[in-house]
Amino acid sequence: SLDMEGALTARDRVGIQDFVLLDETTDAAFLSNLKKRFSRDLIYTYIGTLLVSVNPYKELDIYNKKQMETYMGINFFELPPHIYALADNAYQTMLTEFDNHFILISGESGAGKTEASKKILQYYAVSCPSTTLLNTVRDKMLMSNPVLEAFGNAKTLKNDNSSRFGKYMDIQFDSQGDAVGGHILNYLLEKSRVVHQNHGERNFHIFYQLVEGGEDDLLHQLGLERDAQHYNYLTQGECAIVSSINDRNDWKTVKNALQIINIEEINTNHLFGIVSSVLHLGNIRFESNSKGQAVLANNDELRWVSNLLGVDARSLQEGLTYRKIEARHDQVLSPFTVDHAIYARDALAKAIYGQTFTWLVNRINESMENKDPSRKTVIGLLDIYGFEVFYVNSFEQFCINYCNEKLQQLFIQLTLASEQEEYEAEGIEWEPVQFFNNKIICDLVEEKHRGIISILDEECLRPGDATDLTFLERLEDKMGNHPHFVTHKLADKMTRKTLERGDFRLLHYAGEVTYCSHLCLTRQNVLFFSLLKLICQSKNAIVKECFSTMDADSRRRPETVATQFKSSLLKLTEILMAKEAWYIRCLKSNESKQPGQFDEALIRHQVKYLGLMEHLRVRRAGFAYRRKFDVFLKRYKPLCPATWPHWRGEPADGVEVLVQHLGYLPNEYKMGRTKIFIRHPRTLYATEDAFEKCKHELGERTSAVYYQCPVFATTKIETCWRGVQARKEREKRAWAVKVIKKFIKGYMNRGQAKSSDNSEYLAFVRQNYLNRLKNHLPKTVLDKTSWLPPPAVLTEVRHLLSRYCVKKHSNIFKGKKESYPQSVAQPFMDTRITSNQTHKPTVFHSVFLQYSVPVIKYDRNGFKPRPRQLVLTQTAAYVIEEAKIKQRVLYTSLKGISVSNLTDGIIVFHITCEDPKQKGDLVMQCDHLFEFLTKLCVIANKQNAVKVVQGSIKIEIQAGKESAVDFSTGHEPMVYKAKNGHLMVVRRVLFLMMTSCVLSALP
């Protein structure tokens, strides 16, 4: 493996692994180095300990377990840059210094932040010590991701899996380094997406997963149809179906993940009830009566909402169409207009979904909670929304970009502080670095009484209806002269052309963004009190729990969303300031998500607003390279006769002697208290080149010494070799005597109870019997009688093996199907009819049933799964639904049977099909494949009919109409109809291993 200094020799081939070592710290040099590395799929580069990551938009084989093991416990700069190196060094530093750390992952939407956070979690899941408790915590941490992504991520114009909320996760470690718990904080879920999506965007994933992947019975219970086009809240973006997203498969993953994070079945049902209630709410329509009042256009959807949320339907209708006004002791109902009714409906949908998301995060936290009160250290992961600029920028984009301003301010503060501390600790004079301090922009947004958020609050609390016009006027009045704020009225003639009258523009550190003041105002309003009071009485357990803490009778107006977000962001800043910081900066390589494309203009823009050049200049601060004296001396000591091969004094003195010998000028380096600081990369490169040359010379000198004394060297080697061989022979003979003695003693005591004297002999007897049995097994598949007579010690084992081996003599599957070895230990059963399946068709009353097993039968048209029972008689196989025969397959019409070589349970019966009206081939899935097919082969005398197929099985749906069953492997098992019309079967990859001598003795 290359260490950092060794990798310097490859600098002309793959660029510089650490931007700090660039000879020129210019934008052009930075981009050139980044592009050179990206072209070789080297997507990671350092700026000191900061990691720059460029999204390659393709799979790279750099995240396997072997790679993880390579980076475990390695010094940060010893190996090429990698996200595992950063994760491991944060972990090792935490263990060594017993303090708290956090990893800040930032970048634009689609730059790869969420994937980076997953990679770090997966690394800790593999690299930390393993226990049963620990594995449970790991599973819950890993499986919280698909749940939070389903409820909190959505397709946007920039990213098909964009996080629409901020997530901060603390991973808690004990003093041994075991991950023992976790805790998640969530920030600003984009609730407006529940009721409105821009063109080309989708709602949250969970809605589509439920509609597309939910089981038929579940959808029936929830009153849903299997078509997203039926729902107003799912179709506004006009892209419900996305080729890169498989909602059906994701649905299975989410359901599995909910079980792992301990969400009980009853709560899962309540959860899906809430999701579907939001969809029904979106389909409630209002019409205007003759008085201009809103009335419901339909009652069906309202009934479903009241049923799913467990609230009174009449009260719900009243809450959606009237506003209660309390005057002293009286209540007056003020009718809504259609616009007000739609607003109330949407506010209810957003409130329910937002509170449910918070409930879900709390439940995940409960499942990961560490019960041990002793002190823990933590590594925090902050995966937060990137800077966003859309054609129309609403309140959410305002909050997201404000968040990025705060994090940039924190980043500069922490970076400058850590660098200044190191210089001060080393006694090196600090050289001031020019950088843009964005505090002026943060103050513009958050300053008390003067900032945009304060003005937004005042407008929302002002009596009467606040409008975007009054809000804008107040902004212009308060900050008309601010250099980072502009409106249509304040702009010059050229800028005015690009600004609508209702918009305002902020000049962020990352660039200009124009916000719609109307959208900022409307997103602040809260749920009407009458609806809030009603929803607090919900019989849905989750909704009841979510709204139980709210005081529906309180007349005090709650804080606006902007103020809530500002407060939570300040708390997050405090959390981060108390920890040691590590940074990952994610970059998009291009806007079209194409592999291999490096858009220089796009990347230059991201490098600018992520502050990478400022960070580089701060990190350099006059010195490109710094290393501890002992590390520097250990590497370069061969370059000076006084330090080679050993320096006996203090490392600092040795380094001083070494650099004087190398001719370093006084202005090229500085000696700190524990480190040497080198100013220019060229000085280091010259030293490295001299070291490479020195290594070759040392090798040549060493070879010359041995060539000068060939006879002596040969004699010495021969003597050593003969000594080694003699010692081995003596040890071998001593071992043989010991083994023979033990064998004889064991034979003499073979009839006694098991003891240390005879245990090895009895083990030999068992192994010998199994080896003989392997070559003399019964000739017929179901023969249980013709077995070799066992020794007395194996009588019981012989009985068990005869049961296990009912099917094992058949060579149908051995070496052909992946799941065959692990099936060896499962004994056959005579039937699989359970107590609730005892009712059989009258046609079987006089027929002897040979065997029965439950199967899933896939329809020939559409491949819909149907649970069935398959019954074997002496002449035919019957497909049964309850007490009704659905299909009979005579063994004489069974042309063949096909299965795949993978771990799935798919079976295809190839049936002679001459008439177009006749049913074609039969496709089934059976959990007891080996038992079922072995029984069938014996009963129907079809031992040669079974074929094990790789890749794909052709099927005949009816005479002249063909299709296929395709097979592949993946991380999650699934069966679905593919776009090409075939049945796609994906099975989890298994690593099979023979683990006992019993298995090795059986075919």
Residue ranges at the known binding site for ATP: 107-114
Residue 617 to residue 613: CA distance in whole angstroms: 6
Residue 37 to residue 15: CA distance in whole angstroms: 6
Residue 321 to residue 448: CA distance in whole angstroms: 38
The CA distances from residue 983 to 188, 250, 314, 950, in Å, are 41, 18, 47, 15
| Residue 389 CB neighbour total at 10 angstroms | 16
Residue 412 to residue 272: CA distance in whole angstroms: 44
Q: Which backbone phi and psi does 199 adopt, to 5 degrees?
A: -60, 135
Residue 210 to residue 423: CA distance in whole angstroms: 57
Query: Prior bond to 483 cis, omega within 30?
Result: no
If you write DSSP's letter for every residue of 290-329 in order, what string do you get?
TTS-EEES-SHHHHHHHHHHT--HHHHHHHHHEEEEEETT
Which residues sit opposite 968 in a β-bridge?
986
With CA atoms as reference, report the closest residue to 194 among 236, 239, 249, 149. Answer: 236
The CA distances from residue 625 to 22, 36, 92, 678, in Å, are 10, 22, 23, 5
Task: Assign 509 to helix, strand or coil.
Answer: coil
Residue entry with tokens 């500085």: 670
Q: Quick one: DSSP state of residue 18? A: B
H or E element: which one contains 102? strand 101-107
- Please classify residue 35 by burial: count the beta carbons closer than 10 Å to its beta carbon, then call 0-12 exposed, 13-18 middle and 19+ buried: middle
User: Which amino acid, 43?
Assistant: I
Task: Assign 867 to helix, strand or coil.
Answer: strand
Chain centroid to Cα 464, Å, comes to 48
H or E element: which one contains 172? strand 166-173
Residues noted as catalytic: 109-110, 114, 159, 162-163, 386, 388
Contact 266, 541 (CB under 8 A): yes
If you write DSSP's letter for every residue of 361-403 in order, what string do you get?
HHHHHHHH-----S--EEEEEEE-PPP---SSB-HHHHHHHHH
User: Quick one: tokens of 470?
Assistant: 């009054």
Residue entry with tokens 């796009």: 602
The CA distances from residue 818 to 901, 906, 949, 950, 988, in Å, are 6, 13, 12, 11, 11
Contact 277, 166 (CB under 8 A): no
Residue 88 to residue 274: CA distance in whole angstroms: 41
In whole angstroms, how large is the CA radius of gyration of the chain? 36
Residue entry with tokens 């850590």: 418
With CA atoms as reference, report the closest residue to 184 among 154, 157, 230, 145. Answer: 145
Residue partners of 240: CB distance under 8 A and separation at least 6: 202, 208, 228, 229, 234
Residue 224 to residue 278: CA distance in whole angstroms: 11
The CA distances from residue 172 to 103, 149, 163, 167, 331, in Å, are 14, 22, 24, 16, 52
The CA distances from residue 411 to 105, 583, 607, 651, 714, in Å, are 11, 9, 14, 34, 64
Contact 120, 103 (CB under 8 A): yes
